[in-house]
Amino acid sequence: MSTKKYSIDEFMRVSTIGAFSVSKDSSLLFYSSDDSGNYDVYSVCLETGLKKRETAFNENALVCHAFDNGSFLFLMDEGGNELHHLYINLEGKTEDLTPFEGSKSGFLMSVSDRLYFFSNRLDKSRFDLYCLDESTLESSLIFENKGLYDLGQVSDNGRFISLSKQNTANDSDMYVFDTISNEYIHLTEHQGESHFVPVFFSKDSKELFYLSDCEGEFMELYAIDIFTKKGRKLLSFEWDIISVKRSEDGRYASLVLNRDAFAELRVFSLYSGKTIGKEMVSGGVIYQHAFATDSKSIFLLVDSAIAPADVFKLSLEDGTLEPLTDSISSAPDKDDLVMPVIRRFPSYDGMEIPGILYLPHEASPGNRVPALIWVHGGPGGQSLPRYNPELQFLVNHGFAIYAVNNRGSSGYGKSFFKAADHKHGEVDLDDCVEAAVFLKTFDEIDGERIGIIGGSYGGFMVLAALAFRPTVFTVGVDIFGVSNWLRTLKEIPSWWSAIRELLYRKIGDPFQEEEYLTSISPLFHASKIKKPLLVLQGANDPRVLKVESDEIVQRTRENGIDTEYVVFEDEGHGFTRKANRITAANAILRFLETHLAK
């Protein structure tokens, strides 16, 4: 089968929508799109369809709340440094509501006419909760988070704040803070390891709804009475519920189910517990969902592997799905893109490992293609069948891709998630090796030409693969990956203080386990790397510092290894600007065509 070949520029002609918000009267949709090259805010009048560009910055503006009068709130950082400030656009004029140097803020929620946001302006290690007065734009501190809790929702009456506390990567507790009595109510005393994640309060502010895996492998939906602590289970599936939203009137809830990496939307009555209408299967990822104020429809941001994310309006009366944005372009043709399939294999110890396989259309036993093992970020992330222009670009140019969800990935139950704890770069790396062995069983794939690619934690896995399993993979593409765990874990960003100990337990303590972390850090074993390497890095990355990439590149070049290095001065942890993404994709393709395709 002959497939038209597209440039990455053509793949990038689609818009990427990063966030949306709808006014309470459902007349205005605001969304953040990278049409201009980076994320700006656009509006759509839902009555006339008139579209308007609202911001024009050189940074990424991510909308988070819409007002009926056409004003909106948005978040923006500088060069990917993740130090977001909260801004308001009021009658076309922009004001920074959190102008505190070196601070990080974020929008939490709105209840009636109250707006809540968090900021670490007082202490860089914690996020305190503030209430914003819509009329005066003045903010007041309502909760000083000295206990380093994860902030949840605020009750409709404003009295209660839901909180959670991570004990380990596999265990947490849930609390409610009573702003009247100034007391903490511990709602989840338990034994063993279980997660508890608050999602919303009941309309009357008496119950807290939450997700938990306390009774099984997957996250299920529960409710608990704040005063009596009497709980009840509402819904459970053989997959994780990953997101739940309540309607304004308190009658309904919508949930997103992660079924084998594909997202499904369900709507149900909070009174009867019964499902309303049919489930919506996305064919990809549901990034946001929110009820209209009248509870008659739901707004969704959803994509599939072959269609970029758009905002839709789902009618709960007749199930119709109305597109409100149009991100797709004339190229590439959907028929030339590849819809992936889930494929599983038994790993070295018999554990079943899932992955998402993309086979080029032209691949056949008579035309065997090279392949890449694609490793997600994390640890604890999950590869999903989202629309990824760079991935489809590589597949379009003849490279099979297997996005492996190695042990330690989320989405497959809590036992699978914790199976790599304190063994990262070891047992999960062996899963990647077995994934390569698995690919060799496909008649359409050339088993002698298999590389490995990944970003962040996935980039670490690339470096670990080349250093510790030096004969398995033909090439490696490291996208801002960790090379030295000792440094990375010691220099965790200040706003990650609440999860520092969690990461130490999951990966290793740099102050107590120096020898172990040295043993799994590729930088100290760079002399073992023998295969060509491409490294891509953002200069402003606060999570994986640029020095991580600088040093591994220096070591491999000193050892005579063909190593290419691409640095983006205006990017952080992840490349968001279209021009940079085009440059990165072209660099990857050239590298693979030189070292893997031949």
- Contact criterion met (CB below 8 Å) for 429 and 407: no
Q: Is the peptide bond before 542 cis (omega within 30 degrees of 0)?
A: no
Per-residue burial over 446-455, b = 16 or more CB atoms within 10 Å of its CB, e = otherwise: beebbbbbbb
Confidence (pLDDT) at 1: 55
Name the strand (E) or helix (H) holding 208.
strand 207-212
CA pair distance 165, 498, nearest whole angstrom: 8
Nearest to 430 by CA among 417, 420, 443, 442: 420
Angle at 155 between CA 151 and CA 161, to 5 degrees: 30
User: What are 93's strand-pairing partners?
Assistant: 90
Look up residue 149 and give its DSSP letter: P
pLDDT in tens, the chain (598 residues): 568 999 999 999 899 999 999 999 999 999 999 999 999 999 999 999 999 999 999 999 999 999 999 999 999 999 999 999 999 999 889 999 999 999 999 999 998 888 999 999 999 999 999 999 888 888 999 999 999 999 999 999 999 999 999 998 899 999 999 999 999 999 999 999 999 999 999 999 999 999 999 999 999 999 999 999 999 999 999 999 999 999 999 999 999 999 999 999 999 999 888 888 778 888 899 999 999 999 999 999 999 999 999 999 999 988 899 999 998 777 788 899 999 999 999 999 999 999 999 999 999 999 999 999 999 998 999 999 999 999 999 999 999 999 999 999 999 999 999 999 999 999 999 999 999 999 999 999 999 999 999 999 999 999 999 999 999 999 999 999 999 999 999 988 888 877 888 899 899 999 999 999 999 999 999 999 999 999 999 999 999 999 999 999 999 999 999 999 999 999 999 999 999 999 999 999 999 999 999 7
For every residue of 332-371, DSSP letters joined together read S-GGGS---EEEEEE-TTS-EEEEEEE--TT-BTTB-EEE
Helix (H, G, I), strand (E, B) or coil at 246: strand
Alpha carbon dihedral 101, 107, 108, 111, in 10-degree steps, equals 130
What's the pLDDT score for residue 2? 66
Task: Please tell me the predicted confidence (pLDDT) of residue 112.
Answer: 81
Q: What is the model's pLDDT at position 277?
A: 79
Q: Decide the pairing of beta strands 445-455 and 369-375.
A: parallel
Task: Compute CA distances 65 → 22, 211, 227, whole Å.
Answer: 7, 25, 32
CATH topology of domain 338-595: Rossmann fold (3.40.50)
Radius of gyration in angstroms for the set of CA atoms belonging to the chain, rounded to a whole number = 24
Q: Give the integer Cα–Cα distance in Å for 295 and 316.
A: 8
